[in-house]
Amino acid sequence: MSPGSYQQLANGTKLAGASYGKAVERLTARYVREDPSLSSILSYQSKPFVSTPDFFGYDGYNLHLLDITTESSIPGHMLRPYGPATEYVIHPGLPENLEFPR
């Protein structure tokens, strides 16, 4: 996590939820990368300033688009060009009253 993203969490700004979600996504990507079984079927797709699904999932020759997000963010994700074709993996979002040291 970048220092700026962490500051969003520590200061509880409007971007705190997005910073938390990005951390969830990156942690998931690390788990996928470190697990041979997962990395054989999932590919992390994050690119700076490029809108893309978080992961490509491979089921034989079938491609699945996967995005990690909160339930409340799905309508916005559906507006993306790939949104309707994407499968959503839901996380609960930033826990209330979670404090981050400054």
| Residue among 44, 27, 13, 48 nearest 91 (CA) | 27
DSSP 77: H
Q: What is the pLDDT of residue 64?
A: 97
> 47 pLDDT exceeds 90?
no
DSSP 50: B
Q: What does the mean pLDDT of the chain come to?
A: 93
H or E stretch at 87: strand 86-90
Instruction: Read off the pTM.
Output: 0.88
Q: What is the pLDDT of residue 50?
A: 86
